[in-house]
Amino acid sequence: MQFTDFGLSGPEAFTLSRAAATGGENQELALDFFREYGDGALLDMLQEKRANLPALAAEDLFSGMLQSRLGKMIVKRAGLKYQTPLQSLNDEQLLACVKTGKWFTLAVEGVMGFDSAQVTAGGVSTREFDARTLESTISPGLFVCGEVLDIDGDCGGFNLQWAWSSGFLAGRLGEGRLTMIRIRDISLPPQQDMSQLVFAAARQLRIDHTQIKRLDIKKRSVDARKKNDVRLIYTVDVLVKGREDKILKMAHNPKASIAQDYL
């Protein structure tokens, strides 16, 4: 968390900004500057500091524990005077510093606005799109990605990754409506080249080989059960122009299915 001249910033503030922007009025932010310590443990630490450094000014009570100005702010919020020596502070006053340090509240007045935003919330409802392809279920052939959809994530690169991944998927499938189909158990002689594998895949799908835009070999094994007829057995993913439901219906082949790990 970063304290700036305009308010709070940093990754945690970014993550909370959605709630701040949509949560309405009278919101309050509570900060715990000593999450790793309970109230009792923190009070023991302050009492030990009072015993070891009795002449130290109260403004330095949290020196070595927090950034200097932040420590002074907690002391001031707890109602102590900066120049009061620690030996003059009673346990009740130290406990007030503990409570303030572990429950430091700030009124939420709003966010910095669109010009300072790193991510936008809102957008088209995800219920109107196929999660596998990002194609509209209302208007087939329409693909969307990124912040057009009502999706936003925590700070930390998640929104950038969503933009890249969804853009890649929507772009690949939306351009001429390409679909990735997996075909199992294609059998070819060992001497066949990649072009023959493309032709074989096209025959399995009952389409012209020109409809296959890309072919990836996912698995290759050897069938040597017949000594005079050794075969290579392939599982391939093929990127095909057309809708997956129509392609699979036309193929009518139990060895063909949608490549789920691609989607």
Q: Kindly report the CA angle at 161 between 158 and 164, in degrees rounded to 5?
A: 155
pLDDT attached to residue 11: 79
Helices (H), the chain: 11-22, 39-52, 68-77, 91-102, 158-174, 194-205, 244-251
Question: Exposure string (b/e) for 93-128, b if CB count within 10 Å is 16 or more?
Answer: bbbbbbbbbbebeeebeebeeeeeeebeeeebeeee
User: Which of 122, 166, 147, 137 is closest to 245 using CA atoms?
Assistant: 137
Residue 141 · residue 133 · CB < 8 Å: no
Rounded Cα–Cα distance for residues 125 and 123 (Å) = 6
**Residue 215 in contact with residue 233, Cβ under 8 Å?**
no
SS3 at position 34: coil
Q: How far apart are CA 262 and CA 138, in angstroms?
A: 23
Helices (H) and strands (E) in the chain, counts: 7, 8
Check residue 37 and give its pLDDT.
Answer: 94
* Claim: this prediction has a pTM higher than 0.85: no
The position carrying tokens 């630490």 is 45
Distances in whole angstroms, Cα of residue 165 to Cα of each of 51, 109, 149, 153 = 58, 35, 13, 14
SS3 257: strand
- At 9 the three-state DSSP class reads strand
Q: What is the pLDDT of residue 176?
A: 61
Q: What angle do CA 53, 54, 56 make, to 5 degrees?
A: 70
* pLDDT for the residue 175: 61
- Beta carbons of 42 and 97 less than 8 angstroms apart: no
3-state secondary structure of 108: coil
pLDDT (tens, 9 = 90+) of the chain, 263 residues, equals 788 888 888 878 888 887 888 777 888 889 999 999 999 999 999 999 999 999 999 999 999 999 999 999 999 999 999 999 999 999 999 999 999 999 999 888 888 888 887 778 888 999 999 888 888 888 877 888 998 999 888 888 888 999 999 998 887 766 666 788 999 999 999 988 899 999 999 999 999 998 888 899 999 999 999 888 999 999 999 988 777 788 888 899 999 998 876 54
Residues 78/92, Cβ–Cβ less than 8 Å: no
Res 195: pLDDT: 92
Q: Are 77 and 100 a contacting pair, CB within 8 Å?
A: yes
The predicted pLDDT at position 109 comes to 85
